[in-house]
Chains A and B, each alone.
Chain A
Amino acid sequence: MKFLCLECNTAMKFKESKAPEGGALTAIFECPDCFGEIAMHMNPWETQMLKSLDVQLGGKSDSAPPMQMVRSFLSDPNEGAFSSGHAPEHASSTASEPEGGKCPFTSVVADAFQNQAPEPVDLVWTEDALERLNRIPSFVQSMAKAGIEEFAREKGIAEITGEVMDAARGNFGM
C-alpha cells in the first residue's frame, strides 16, 4: 500500500502509528514536501491481518527474537514455555528494538508502561501493578508480563509494584 499527496504528487512517508483503540490501529503518513498529514484508520480485522503477516508499519529490524509472533500473540499459552526462565535474553527486548517506536504493537507496550498496567502469576503483583497490567492491550499483555517478571527475577524482586514496572521499562530502553 502506498500513499500519494495529490497536492504535491509526492509519495507520502510513514510518520507514526497510534495505539490500537478498540483494536483499530491508526497510521499517520506525511508528505515530505508540504508536510501535510493523513491518518489511515484500520478496522480491527485489518489491524489483525497486519499482525498476522508479522510485518510492522515503519519497518522492522532484522533481529526479531525467535518465535516472536507466536510468543506475542498466542492466547493462553503454556506459561512455562514463555516464562522468563526459558525466554531468550533478548526476548523482552521485543518491545525495545531500535525501531520499536515505529512498531504499532511494541509502541503499545511502551505506552502501557508509561501510563499504567497488569495481572498475576507466580510472583506477587501488587494491586496497582495489576491494574496497570490490565490496562495493557490484551494481545501484548503476556509479552509485557513475561518481560516484567523476567526483570524482577533477575533483580531478586519478589513483589512487582508500579516502581518495579517503571524500572523494568527503563531496563528495556523504552
Chain B
Amino acid sequence: MKTYNDLPSDGGSDVAGQVARQVGRLTKRLQSVSHTVAIMSGKGGVGKSSITANLASALALRGKRVGVLDADINGPSIAKMMGVRGASVEYGTEGVTPATSPLGVKVMSMDLFLKDDDTPVLWEAQTQKDAFTWRGTMEISALREFLSDTEWGSLDYLLIDLPPGTDRLPNLIDLLPNLGGTIVVTIPSGVSQLVVKKSLTMAKEIVNIPIVGLVENMAAYVCADCGKTENLFPASDTAEMARRFQIPLLGKIPFDPRISMAADNGNTFVEKYPDTSASHSISEIAEKTESFFNHNT
C-alpha cells in the first residue's frame, strides 16, 4: 500500500500551493515597505498601542512614510487613537486602500470593519461553541489579509501593534519571517517585567528577531502644576533588564494624562502636545529607531 509520501498530490486541491500563493502575495505586497517593526510587550495594559500610534506620528513628523497595522484583531484601538475610526476603506482592484491619519499615516485595523462600538469580532460559524478550535487560525488569516491586501504603497516603516501574549511574536513571524525588528514595551512594575522578560527571550533567543530596543512607559509622573517628577512605581529595573538582554533602552516615557485624553479624541499626543516631556521622549525613541535601521540595513 502506498504511503502518504508516495502519493504525488492531495487529489487536486493543492493546499500547499494555495498557502504558498498566500505567502507570495504577502511578500509581493511588502516589497515596497523598507522596515517592518513589531511593537510588543507580552503584558497587557502597558501602552503598546498608545506608543505605536505616537511613534508612528513621530516618525511621520520626521518626514517618514509610515503605516500602522493594528494586529490586535479582537481589541483594536489604533483607529480611534489615530483619529480614523469610522473612515471608509476603499476597495481597488489591487487591494484595499487604508485609512489615513491627519499626518498621513496609513492605518489598517479590524475596527474599520466593525459595525459599532459594542460589536465584538465574531466569525460566521454554525456554532460559536468550541470556537477555540478554529478562532486563532481565523485571526491569523485575517492578519495575513490585512498585511497582504492593504495597499500600503511605499513605506519607510510599517509598525505592527501586537496584542498581549508572548506567543504573538512567533505567530507574526510565521507570516513575516523577515520582520525587521521589534520594540518591546514595559512599565516599571515587577509583574510587567516578569512577563516582558519572557517576550525578550522569545524575540532574542527563540525566533531570533532583531530587537530595536526596550521602552519604559509610565516611567514617572510630571506634575502639571509644579513640573516636579515623581515615580509612579517603586524602583524600576528596566535599565538592568536592557543590560541583561544586551539591548538598548530606547527611552522612558513619563505618564501624562493628556496622552490618554488625546487618544480618546483621536489625536496623537506628539502632534497635539509636541513641547512636553513625554513627546520629547517619544521623538527620541523615533530618532533611535531610525538610527537602528540606518545602521542595521
Stretch at the interface among A1-9, A117-125, A155-163: A1-9
Residue of A nearest to B124 (CB): A139
A35 at the interface (CB under 8 A from B): no
Is there contact, CB below 8 Å, between B126 and A9? no
Chain A interface size range: 35 or more
Instruction: Determine the chain A residues whose CB is within 8 A of the CB of B18 once the complex forms.
Output: 55-56, 59-60
Residue of A nearest to B17 (CB): A59
Instruction: Determine the chain B residues whose CB is within 8 A of the CB of A88 once the complex forms.
Output: 91-93
Stretch at the interface among B131-139, B223-231, B248-256, B278-286: B131-139
8 Å CB contact of B126 from A1, A44, A77, A91: A44
Is there contact, CB below 8 Å, between A73 and B91? no
B144 to chain A, nearest CB (A): 8
A154 at the interface (CB under 8 A from B): no
B141 at the interface (CB under 8 A from A): yes
8 Å CB contact of A57 from B13, B21, B91, B110: B13
B156 at the interface (CB under 8 A from A): no
Alpha-carbon distance between A68 and B18 when the two chains are bound, in angstroms: 14
8 Å CB contact of A68 from B123, B127, B145: B145
Is there contact, CB below 8 Å, between A2 and B10? yes
Residue of B nearest to A5 (CB): B2
Residue of B nearest to A87 (CB): B91
Instruction: Determine the chain A residues whose CB is within 8 A of the CB of B91 once the complex forms.
Output: 65-67, 86-88, 91
Instruction: Determine the chain A residues whose CB is within 8 A of the CB of B127 once the complex forms.
Output: 23, 44
A86 to chain B, nearest CB (A): 5
* Residues 108-131 of B contacting A (Cβ, < 8 Å): 110, 112-116, 119, 121-127, 130-131
Is there contact, CB below 8 Å, between A11 and B7? yes
A104 to chain B, nearest CB (A): 11
Is there contact, CB below 8 Å, between A14 and B124? no
- Bitwise, A90-104 to B at CB < 8 A (1) or not (0) is 110000000000000
B149 to chain A, nearest CB (A): 4
8 Å CB contact of A74 from B10, B113, B133, B134: B113
Q: Which 9 A-B pairs have the closest CB atoms?
A: A23-B126, A139-B124, A88-B91, A66-B149, A75-B122, A52-B138, A52-B137, A14-B12, A11-B7
